[in-house]
A and B are shown apart, each in its own frame.
Chain A
Amino acid sequence: AQKVTQAQTEISVVEKEDVTLDCVYETRDTTYYLFWYKQPPSGELVFLIRRNSFDEQNEISGRYSWNFQKSTSSFNFTITASQVVDSAVYFCALSEAGYSQGGSEKLVFGKGTKLTVNP
C-alpha cells in the first residue's frame, strides 16, 4: 500500500531563514508520481511541483527547490530565504499506477507540515 509521511507537524522560522520540509513515501510500484501542494489560510490547495519516479533530477524554481532521492524514498522541499508569504500548510502526495494501467490516479497525501514564517 502507498503511504506518505511528513514527520514535521509544525515548523516555525524567522524570515530569511532557509527551511526544509521532509517527505518520505512508500510504494510497491516502479512507476509513480510525487507532488507538493501549498495550502494557504484561504484553504485552496495550490500545486507546486510534480516529479515522476524515473526523473531524479533536483529542481529549482526561484526560492523553491526539491530533492528527490529514490534510495531513501524521500522527496524533500527547501525554501531558501523564507518570507512571511510562505506561511502555509505544505502537503506531499503520491500517485501510483494510473488509469491507463488499471490504476486509479488517486493521490495519497501526507498529513502536512504547517510552516510559520515570522517577520
Chain B
Amino acid sequence: DGGITQSPKYLFRKEGQNVTLSCEQNLNHDAMYWYRQDPGQGLRLIYYSQIVNDFQKGDIAEGYSVSREKKESFPLTVTSAQKNPTAFYLCASSILPQGTEAFFGQGTRLTVV
C-alpha cells in the first residue's frame, strides 16, 4: 500500500540529546514537509523540501535539522538546541505543481523526560 510511514510512534528523549524522527513515503511525491503540533496551536511548518538535496526552513526551524538524500526519505533531527521539543510531529508529502493535497503520516509523539 502506498503511503507515508513515520517512526517511531512514541519517542522519549533526555534533555541534551539529539533524536531523529523517520519519515518515508512510497507515493513518488516530490515535496515533503515536517510540521509540529502543539495543543491549541494548530500545525506549524518546521522544514520542507521540494527536491532531493534541497530544503528550506519553515516558520519554526530553530533547533531542528533535516536532510533529503533520497526522494523517499526526509528525516528530522531534533537537536539539543530546541528548548521545548515535547510535541506531536507530523510528516507530509505532496506532488508538484501547486495546489495538490498533502498526505500525512500518523505522527510521532516526542516527550522530553
A binding-site residues for B, Cβ under 8 Å: 6, 9, 31, 33, 35, 37, 42-47, 50, 52, 91, 95, 97-101, 103-112
17 additional A-B residue pairs with CB within 8 Å, beyond A108-B45, A110-B42: A31-B98, A33-B99, A44-B107, A45-B92, A50-B100, A91-B43, A95-B99, A97-B98, A98-B98, A98-B99, A99-B98, A104-B48, A105-B48, A105-B96, A105-B97, A107-B43, A111-B40
Would A105 and B98 be within 8 Å (CB), given that A111-B40, A111-B42 are in contact? Answer: yes
Question: A50 contacts which chain B residues (CB < 8 A)?
Answer: 99-101
23 examples of A-B residue contacts, CB within 8 angstroms: A6-B42, A31-B98, A33-B99, A42-B106, A43-B106, A43-B109, A44-B106, A45-B92, A47-B101, A50-B99, A91-B43, A98-B96, A98-B99, A99-B31, A99-B97, A99-B98, A100-B98, A105-B48, A107-B43, A107-B92, A109-B35, A109-B42, A111-B42
How many residues of chain B are within 8 Å of chain A by beta carbon?
A: 30
Residue of A nearest to B107 (CB): A43
Question: B43 contacts which chain A residues (CB < 8 A)?
Answer: 91, 107, 109
Residue of B nearest to A9 (CB): B40
Residue of A nearest to B33 (CB): A106
Main secondary structure of the interface of B (DSSP, over half): strand
Contact between B42 and A105, CB atoms less than 8 A apart: no
Question: B41 contacts which chain A residues (CB < 8 A)?
Answer: 111
In the bound assembly, the distance between CA atoms of A42 and B104 in angstroms comes to: 12
Contact between A106 and B58, CB atoms less than 8 A apart: yes
B50 within 8 A of A: yes
Residue of A nearest to B102 (CB): A107
> Which chain B residues (22-63) contact chain A, with CB distance < 8 Å?
31, 33, 35, 40-45, 48, 50, 56, 58
